[in-house]
Structure 1
Amino acid sequence: MSALKIILLSTAFNGLTQRVWLDLREAGYRPSVVLFTDPDSVCQQIEDSGADLVICPFLKDRVPQRLWRNPRRPVVIIHPGIVGDRGASALDWALMRQPERWGVTALQAVEEMDAGPVWATCEFHLPEGLRKSELYNGPVSDAAIQCVREVVQKYLNGFTPVPLDYSRREVVGRLQPNMTQDDRTFSWHDNSAFIKRCIDAADGQPGVLASLAGGQFYVYDAHLDVRRGVPGNLLAVRDDAVLVATGDASLWIGSLRLKPQSGEQTFKRPARHVLAQRLAGVPVLDGSLARQPFSDEPYQPIRYRECGHVGELTFECYNGAMSTEQCQRLVAALRWAKTRDTEVLLIRGGRGSFCNGVHLNVIQAAADPGLEAWANIQAIDDVCLELFSARQLVVSGLTGNAGAGGVMLALAADIVLARRDIVLNPHYATMGLYGSEYWTYSLPRAVGPDRAYALTQDCLPVSATQALRYGMVQEIGPRCPDEFGLWLLQRANSALLDPAYESLRVRKAERSLSAIQACRDGELAQMRRDMVDNRHGFAEKCHRFVFKHRACRTPQRLVAPWARAERVQPVQ
């Protein structure tokens, strides 16, 4: 094992930071994490740790001078832009301008942000039609991993980073201003593709401010449609989304955030929930599979197709969150799919995350958040039960990252297949929850009771490779989403006869629904105490998550043993 001591300095332990942490561990290192709180505390933690190298996968804060001026301990920023690109809105501008190629650059921290010498760079073709979170968690994340690997190897080889030189022809990036709402603005009279690009470039944060139904809202989660109407008018409602007419067609808008007034805080919610009373008289479209099983509608949060003896059900949950109503719609879709004359049921995610469990934003907005959480957890349990009770052999496709109940939902299937390099968080305790979704049945069944206990108590991310070793997943497919989709369907088609899956087919035949129900009953007894009685602070943790409060300190679980050295106390 390498003795190199690497600190990951990050604003949050987000998906990319988790992936870097996991990748370094796979390579034999034991990275430690420091979450940015205040400059003095951060400097003290890093100096006391004796770290050799500091890498910043996701840092919104300026590196303190006290850190970057130390020549013996480089601080390397992972910037989501090509060489020469500078500024906090790198991905926003890239999506708005759509260059053919984009990239990630690893550069040393200096006084001027993003202007330091270059350690590594990795470029990629910029696909069209991605929203910012997809770009960040896909091509940017892949390129960032390559840069981190290169930085570590170059550090070990004594590499001296190359100063940024704008006179060189290959340095095409430039300093970009922080993107403002004026830069993002659109009119509903503009064409749909332009409006969607504006919304995609502001995905996650901050959203694009627009007038809608007589109010001012930040809009998110846009999908093209062909219907027409008076630009800006609401044409229809389907599930949680509203259809807005544009200059040439229309767009489905899945999520909104009310513009705050006089210092109040607002947060993102399903569009239908936010508009509520403003939707009187707007037609409601039925998107259920029972009514439209093989629809060619361009926007379908739940869609179904058949290939041979496989029925493939795809569900989309924006940012991985699944509300009570979304769960109920998925239950209805599964019940319909189970009546089909198929032998394999493939359930898979769509764009972005696979699933992260209950919808904390909808819970926070409820009149009684505890009761809404209680309803939500029972509804997602119902989804899992439909998988357990299916006549068909059930295959789940982990198309993206998953956490908490989303991991357990996938494990309710008979066979679990994962896209390469996704990250799983199979735990609940950081939210003050015991957990449900039949985890006390499915997780020990997959990995054994001892490892199941460790996974839920350690509260650490798991890579797809680890999940394969542990038995949580049976195979890993291609990283490319399109290639993974094809591979997933092929593997589902062969699942009935593949000798590698024989033990899983036998296990399905021997399952006990009464034992499964007993696990659910035990979990819900604990979850009622957590969600309704708030015994472990779920209400406060939910509030902090929804309003994006920053960490007050770095959790001890993320601090490597070598970085925990006690400060030397002065002799009195």
Structure 2
Amino acid sequence: MRILLIADAFNSLTQRVHAELGDGGHQVGVELVTRETPLLDVVRRHAPDLIVAPMLTTPVPREVWSAHTCLIVHPGPVGDRGPSSVDWAVHLGAERWGVTVLQANDEMDAGDIWAAVDCAVPEVGKSDLYRNEIADAAVEAVLAAVERVASGTYRPQPQDSLPEAARTGRPRPPLRQDLRRIDWHHDPTDTVVRTLRAADSRPGVRDELLGGTWYLHGGHPEDTLTGRPGELLATRCGAVCRATADGAVWIPELRPPRRPGGPGTVKLPATLALGDRLPPLPEVPAPLDAGDRPRTWTDIRYREDGRAGFLEFAFPGGAMSTDHCRRLLAAYRHACSRPTSVLVLGSRRDFFSNGIHLNVIESATDPAAEAWDNLNAMDDLVHAVLTTTDRLVVAALGGNAAAGGVMLALAADEVWCRAAAVLNPHYRLLGLYGSEYWTYTLPGRAGARVAAELTRRALPLTAAAGQRLGLVDRIVDCDPQDFAPQTTHLAVRLASSSAVQARIAAKKAERERDEAERPLAAYREDELARMHRIFFDPEHPHHALRRAFVRKEPVTGTPEHLRTAPAG
């Protein structure tokens, strides 16, 4: 079918729906729209068989939905209405939620139902839930709805014809800041964490701290540190620890409010955002091996199971600053000092990595210098992985990866992906050439022609497509919560296999042959020379593209590469 996706942004769900429909053989185009977009003209230009809106906050005009079947993906169970559905799921502590695919009509979220799928709600942040359990349910529902539309015989169900028991959701208002307010003197830790997680990506929780107004992003419970409710107790890895009525929480990121008429503001590691406002506080590190300690947060952990080591990391939004890269490299070197034959890198769920930290770069006094430091720190980490020849290294992608994050994964000997992961192995949309030794690893896995095509087209790939192209070695088809246990089982089995030492010897010999043919230093030097010209040229388009990306500037049109994509 010719399918047109209309969306506010090419966000994670839109990308996944785009990639899954393409894998299914459909011809998929995308249009990014606003209330001012002449949608009828856009639709006439595409002449689609079907319109799907994976993420749309603006109403579809009557002249469009009355002439074309238009499916709206609503991230809530049947009967749910309103713009804050996933926020409410986390805020209320729901155990189950769902996704409903509706036919567009005059009333938002009230159309006939083409498909509905429910899902679990684990104790994670809103954005993690949205990218994983909600996205899994959404894709299942969209694929079912598309198949039903294609059949020509299925009739969607009017919502008011369903029995009461089938309408598990209800209309809810927007979750505004007055409903998100934290009472630090009375709210227990679990309530504070749930409130923070329900706003972790956007909009954050508006609050007063150290004489200023901030949006707080993300929250993790702390069971050991305590103090006067509301006061800051400690720092760790850029986060601040703040006391609650019965304990404390770690808050990784802060964002200042937007000034009237000013540009959008960006989330930053909390200590960086606070800057000189931050009073002297103890930096309380967490050991790499947290073991059975009470609840506490850290963004890097190491554990072992037999001859398999697991270096787990999870950075907000998948972005890796200079500090993140350097701390992860130190942890990697520690992991390599351990007597293991397999080392697994990755988060337990959600993002693997999206490469360098554009927010930190944008906010730096000298963005070019910060970008250069960040890229070199990322390159140092990738180089360490590429030159590990005494054990097998596995990149475990429980969630999405993009740009330098994909290249970090490709530096490993094997790439294991959860079936739902989306890969964006390119840099072009931000005007970058790229580094992270991609000119060595990407052609080495996919071949020069495919590597050039992937970086030129700049489109998302499913894990299955990545496997067909040679970027992925194993697909783990499981729920998000099951990814870590399943990869642990697979890694332990690999580490204990009789062939593991022969494979380690073979990879060492291959690395020596490749180094003799062209040293890794030559790839790095060439990539960095190109990136240096970009970073330090104030007129280069990258700077405007970076600024628009991190400050969430309004859509000004649809990039041409999204308008039409070949099937499959």
**What amino acid is the match of 1:183?**
L
Write the deviation string for residues 56-100 of structure 1: whole angstroms up to 9, x where unpaired: 011121212321222xx1111010111111110111122222334
Please name the residue that 1:507 is paired with: 507
Q: Deviations over 1:355-377 (max 9, x none)?
A: 00000000000011111111110
Cα distance in structure 2, aligned partners of 1:561 and 1:250: 49
Contact kept, 8 Å, 2:101 with 2:114, in 1: the verdict is yes
Shift of 1:548: 0.7
Give TM-score scaled by structure 1 length: 0.92
For residue 545 of structure 1, what is the aligned residue in structure 2? 549
How many Å apart are 1:38 and its aligned residue?
4.9
1:141 equivalent to 2:141? Answer no
Deviation at 1:504, TM superposition (A): 7.8
Equivalent residue, structure 1, for 2:363? 365
- Contact kept, 8 Å, 1:34 with 1:42, in 2: the verdict is no
1:17, CA displacement in angstroms? 1.1
Q: Is the 8 A contact 2:392 2:504 kept in 1?
A: no
RMSD: 2.1
Residues 184-333 of structure 1: matches in 2 within 5 Å?
184-189=180-185, 190-226=187-223, 227-264=225-262, 265-287=264-286, 289=288, 296=293, 298-333=296-331
Aligned length in residues: 555
Asked if residue 522 in structure 1 is aligned to residue 526 in structure 2, the reply is: yes
Q: Single out whichever of 230-239 and 342-351 deviates more from structure 2.
A: 342-351
For residues 320 and 411 of structure 1, what CA distance do their matches in structure 2 show? Answer: 16
The 1:451–1:272 alpha-carbon spacing in structure 2 relative to 1, beyond 3 Å, is same
Structure 1 stretches of 5 or more lacking a match?
564-572
Match of residue 63 from structure 2? 66
Query: 2:119 corresponds to which residue?
Result: 124
Of the structure 1 ranges 228-237 and 331-340, higher mean CA displacement relative to structure 2 is found in 331-340
- Counterpart contact for 1:294–1:304, Cα < 8 Å: no
Partner of 2:485: 486
Distance in 1 between residues matched to 2:293 and 2:48, nearest whole Å: 56
Identify the match of residue 533 of structure 1 among 533, 537, 550: 537
Moved more, 304-313 or 31-40: 31-40
- What is the identity, as a one-letter code, of the residue corresponding to 1:363? I
Counterpart for residue 397 of structure 1: 396
Cα displacement (A) at 1:270: 0.6
Following superposition, the deviation at residue 445 of structure 1 comes to: 1.2
5 Å-filtered alignment, 1:333-344, equals 333-344=331-342
Aligned equivalent of 1:77, options 42, 52, 72: 72
The AA in structure 2 aligned to 1:118 is I
Q: Structure 2 vs 1, CA of residues 357 and 81 (structure 1 numbering), >3 Å: closer, same or farther? A: same
CA contact (8 A) 1:12 1:550 kept: no
Preserved contact between residue 232 and residue 240 of structure 2 (Cα < 8 Å): yes
Q: Is the 8 A contact 1:288 1:329 kept in 2?
A: no
Structure 1 position 332, deviation (Å): 1.2
Q: Tell me the alpha carbon deviations over residues 186-210 of structure 1, each in whole angstroms, 9 at most, x when there is no partner.
A: 1112101001111111121101111
Matches within 5 A, 1:96-107: 96-107=91-102
Is 1:183 matched up with 2:179?
Answer: yes
- State the distance in 2 between where 1:560 and 1:355 align: 28
CA contact (8 A) 2:341 2:500 kept: no
Deviation at 1:166, TM superposition (A): 7.3
Give the Å deviation of 1:147.
1.4
Post-superposition CA distance 1:269-302 (Å, at most 9, x none): 110101122223211123464xx78683621211
Range with greater deviation from structure 2 (494-503 or 327-336): 494-503
Structure 2: distance between partners of 1:534 and 1:492: 46
Following the alignment from structure 1 to structure 2, what is the Cα–Cα distance between the partners of residues 203 and 48? 38
Unpaired stretches in structure 2, ≥5 consecutive residues: none
User: 1:569 maps to which residue?
Assistant: none
Pick from 155, 162, 168: which aligns with 1:172? 168
SS in 1 for 2:102: strand
Q: By how many angstroms is 1:500 displaced?
A: 9.9
Secondary structure in 2 matching 1:165: helix
Q: Mean alpha-carbon deviation: is it higher for 548-557 or for 522-531? A: 548-557
Equivalent position SS for 1:282: coil
Distance 2:566 2:435 in 1: 35
State the alpha-carbon separation in 2 of the partners of residues 351 and 256 from structure 1. Answer: 23
2:427 is matched with 428
Q: Does the 8 Å contact 2:391/2:504 carry over to 1?
A: no
Contact 1:208 1:220 in 2 (8 A): yes
Q: Which moved more, 1:304-313 or 1:396-405?
A: 304-313
Structure 2 Cα separation of the partners of residues 401 and 181 of structure 1? 30
- Does the residue aligned with 1:98 lie in a helix, a strand or coil? coil
Alignment CA distance shift 1:58-1:500 (3 Å): farther
User: Does structure 1 conserve the Cα–Cα contact (< 8 Å) formed by 2:394 and 2:412?
Assistant: yes
% of aligned pairs identical?
A: 41
Q: Do the aligned residues in 2 keep the contact of 1:348 with 1:354 (CA within 8 Å)?
A: yes
Is residue 109 of structure 2 the alignment partner of residue 114 of structure 1?
yes
The answer to which of 202-211 and 256-265 deviates more is: 256-265
The separation in 2 between residues aligned to 1:374 and 1:413, in whole angstroms, is 24
**How far off its partner does 1:34 sit?**
1.3
Rate the CA distance shift 1:286–1:200 in 2: closer, same or farther, 3 A: closer
TM-score using structure 2 length: 0.93
Secondary structure of 1:511's counterpart equals helix
Work out the CA distance in 1 between the residues paired with 2:145 and 2:161.
22
8 Å CA contact retained: 1:34, 1:46: no
SS in 2 for 1:493: helix
Does the aligned pair in 2 maintain the 1:414–1:508 contact within 8 Å? no
User: Given the superposition, is the C-alpha separation of residues 161 and 481 from structure 1 closer, same or farther in structure 2, using an over 3 Å criterion?
Assistant: closer
Amino acid at match of 2:370: E
Cα contact 1:213–1:234 (8 A) shared by 2:
no
Q: CA deviation at 1:125?
A: 3.1
CA contact (8 A) 1:133 1:352 kept: no
- 1:51 is aligned to 48
